[in-house]
Amino acid sequence: MADRKAVIERNTKETRIRVEIDLDGSGVSEVETGIGFFDHMLTHLAKHGLIDLKITCEGDLEVDAHHTVEDVGISIGKAIAAAVGDKAGIVRYGSSVVPMDEALVMTALDISGRGSLVYGLVIGKEMVGAFDSELTPEFFKALCNNAGINTHIRQLDGSNAHHIIEAAFKSFARALREALSFDPRVTGIPSTKGTL
């Protein structure tokens, strides 16, 4: 089995980003984006996805956090796509329902090569620390479009913005972990088309 690792660098007038990823890691992360709550969520993505993740980002936070969050999503998505390779032998589909105190969030996803996001979180609070909660769908949309993952995220319960967003990151991570895992009974590409 080949190493499923990738390094992506993305440099624009708005952000300078480097992402290193190992899809078969143990959940170790080093994350520095300049947005504390976002860093916290990305460590959950690594820990619960069993993905080793190293991210450095210098963004135009003097403007706002939008470019940083979206471009980190783009970069992680590209890194996942590069690391997963031809997808031979993977489970392909994953789902997870995660509770976080009063919040309950479900994620179902398909590493289909066709990126999309159906988003169903209702977050009543605008800011969580220095993180604008409106950036939550922007992050997941950027990641999923660039990784080629069809994703549905649904809030089943919850009122606390921190809990809802954290449950979303954890449920996405666990669903991704399942979908990226190998099934010894799967030979070749898990699609009747023969490609993903």
- Tell me if 39 sits within 8 A of 56, measured CB to CB: no
**pTM score of the predicted model:** 0.96
Q: Is residue 162 part of a domain?
A: yes
The pLDDT value recorded for residue 1 is 63
Distances in Å between the Cα of 56 and the Cα atoms of 24, 35, 133 are 20, 11, 21
Q: Is residue 159 part of a domain?
A: yes
Distances in Å between the Cα of 190 and the Cα atoms of 26, 59, 81, 90, 194 are 25, 38, 16, 7, 7
The pLDDT value recorded for residue 133 is 97
| Structural domains in the chain (count) | 1
Q: Is residue 190 part of a domain?
A: no
Closest CA to 109 of 75, 135, 140, 70: 140
Q: Is residue 167 part of a domain?
A: yes
The pLDDT value recorded for residue 178 is 98
Q: Where are the alpha helices (DSSP H) in the chain?
A: 36-49, 66-84, 135-147, 161-180
The pLDDT value recorded for residue 191 is 83
Domain region containing 137: 5-180
Residues of the chain with pLDDT under 70: 1
CA distance 44 to 63: 26
| CATH code, domain carrying 39 | 3.30.230.40
> What six digits make up the tokens of 173?
């991570």
Q: What is the pLDDT of residues 41-96, one digit of tens each?
A: 999 999 999 999 999 999 999 999 999 999 999 999 999 999 999 999 999 999 99
Q: Is residue 118 part of a domain?
A: yes
Q: Is residue 131 part of a domain?
A: yes
The pLDDT value recorded for residue 187 is 85
